């Protein structure tokens, strides 16, 4: 039995809302159990030099000092970016670029800011799921302003954490489960069934392909449900 009495293939309750910030071109708020994240999308009408005027999507990730049980120092207090935050930013950016035709728009960069209000496991995967909504709506803003004719988003993208805890395969790990996981995995998929990225680590011991297949199978089922929630959010 899990800590919160969920079945192993069951996600925590998910709340997903769009247009939650007044000034951002796109925004979304997500709750996955006690994990709470706000994502905003900002449109900059210029491309990075390496893109040669073609479009780009990037991300930043930040955790509020009291998003966790003990206060974390802000990055600015350390005068450098936290290495964990930098790695997560790259993951979010790669995942969101996977659902966009980057060559279909020019002279624009979309910056997705993911701010963790409260962390109880799965903050990076929640950021990807909500970041997709914010990104989609930022492109809709560009269409309404006449910068684009069509939305460059070619499919949905969503993510879930999973792993093995107490020899049991389970999805959507809370912090306590994640802290005790024998295997920790993050799966990012698109709505065409393609895998954008898998991050998997044997935290306490190695694991075989049979277990990996089981984790991915349960994660795929969970992501399909999350994408249904995304669609309902976009229809609201």
Q: Write down the number of H helices and E strands in the chain.
A: 5, 9
Q: b/e for 162-192, b at 16 or more Cβ within 10 A? A: bbbbeeebbbbbbbebbeebbbbbbbbbbbe
Residue 78: the pLDDT is: 65
Which spans in 83-155 are helix H?
83-97, 123-144
Are 202 and 182 within 8 A, CB to CB?
Answer: yes
Q: How far apart are the first and last CA of the chain?
A: 35
What would the CATH number be for the domain defined by 14-235?
3.30.230.70
Tens of pLDDT, residues 90-111: 999 999 999 999 999 999 999 9
What φ, ψ does residue 217 adopt, rounded to 5°?
-60, -50
Instruction: Please tell me the pTM assigned to this model.
Output: 0.95
Tens of pLDDT, residues 43-64: 999 999 999 889 999 999 999 9
Residue 195: the pLDDT is: 97
């Amino acid at each position: 039995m899990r800590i919160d009495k969920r079945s192993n293939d069951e996600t925590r309750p998910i709340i997903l809302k769009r247009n939650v910030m007044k000034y951002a071109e796109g925004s979304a708020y997500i709750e996955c159990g006690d994990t709470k994240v706000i994502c905003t999308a900002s449109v900059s009408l210029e491309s990075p030099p390496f893109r040669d005027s073609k479009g780009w999507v990037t991300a930043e990730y930040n955790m509020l000092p009291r998003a966790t049980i003990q206060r974390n120092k802000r990055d600015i207090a350390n005068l450098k970016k936290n290495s964990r935050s930098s790695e997560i930013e790259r993951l979010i950016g790669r995942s969101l670029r996977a659902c966009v035709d980057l060559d279909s728009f020019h002279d624009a960069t979309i910056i997705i800011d993911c701010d963790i209000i409260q962390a109880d496991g799965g903050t990076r995967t929640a950021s990807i799921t909500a970041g997709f909504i914010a990104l989609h709506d930022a492109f809709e803003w560009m269409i309404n302003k006449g910068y684009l004719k069509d939305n460059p988003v070619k499919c949905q993208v969503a993510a879930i954490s999973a792993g093995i805890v107490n020899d049991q395969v389970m999805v959507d790990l809370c912090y306590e489960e994640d802290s005790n996981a024998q295997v920790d995995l993050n799966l990012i998929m698109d709505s065409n069934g393609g895998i954008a990225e898998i991050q998997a680590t044997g935290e306490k011991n190695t694991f075989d392909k049979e277990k990996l297949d089981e984790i991915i199978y349960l994660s795929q089922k969970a992501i399909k449900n999350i994408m249904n929630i995304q669609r309902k959010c976009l229809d609201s």
